[in-house]
Chains A and B, each alone.
Chain A
Amino acid sequence: MTIEVRIPTILRTYTNDERAVDAAGDDVRAVIANLESNYEGIAERLVENGEVRRFVNIYVNDEDIRFTGGLETATSDGDTVVILPAVAGGC
């Protein structure tokens, strides 16, 4: 099983500057665990207290996983996972 995970600039320090890496897992939580096994430290940047961090967006095949079951969103061979940090701020 191969799932392509697209890595944002700010997290490429974990992936030796790779913009996209391959991972495996039958849901997003498993994909992140698989990423962590190859790129130690990356999971903590994505997940907090068992949920996706508030200012991190994760998409499976263009759908924001907040609307499709969060980290339990199913993934399968050929899927694309995109990680994008929120662009946000405030005075």
Chain B
Amino acid sequence: MLTISRELHDEIIAHARRDHPDEACGVIAGAIGSDTPTRLIPMLNAAMSPTFYEFDSGDLLRLYRDMDDNDEEPVVIYHSHTGTEAYPSRTDINLASEPGAHYVLVSTRDGAHEAGDVEFRSYRIIDSVVTEEEVRVVERYDH
């Protein structure tokens, strides 16, 4: 199960809407071992594409260095699909390389980038096996 604050949940949706029709992508870092996402880093989609996303390699290095310095790890890795459902594609599955992360997908298809509900779902992707998990949105973390 992914437990995420309302604020961060809404930030992901706002980012996805802002970048539509391109795919939006980013990370929420959290303290190592906490499984609690706390620091959202919206990333530039270097592919600038409605069907593909990729972090810029220089941005990627800085991101991981900053997380190391802060004793953080990527708790959530998110991206948007802009014309399909919020489910990992074959490409998403093949390229997933953080077995400890929650992979969040949102979909801005069918006008959701402007109004209405944005589909928001979370998965574990380990050794190419996708397992959907419950998303619990909380007003604040207990600890």
Contacts and interface: CB of A to CB of B under 8 A. Distances in A.
B61 A84 contact: yes
Contact of A91 (B25, B58, B83): B83
Interface of A: 8-10, 55, 57, 59, 62, 64, 66, 82, 84-91
Interface residues of B, number: 32
B7 to A, nearest CB: 23
Contact of B54 (A8, A64, A84, A88): A88
Contact of A66 (B23, B49, B57, B92): B57
B118 to A, nearest CB: 15
Interface string B34-73: 0000000001000101011111011011001000000000
B82 interface: yes
A84 B60 contact: yes
A9 B54 contact: no
A90 B91 contact: yes
Where chain B touches its partner, the secondary structure class is mixed
Contact of B97 (A8, A59, A62): A8
Contacts of B8: none
A82 to B, nearest CB: 6
B89 A87 contact: no
Interface centre among A9, A82, A87 (most CB of B within 10 A): A87
B61 A91 contact: no
Contacts of A66: 57
B97 A90 contact: no
B58 A64 contact: yes
B99 A89 contact: no
B95 A91 contact: no
B23 A10 contact: no
B121 interface: no
Contacts of A88: 47, 52-55, 91, 95
Contact of B84 (A64, A86, A87, A91): A91
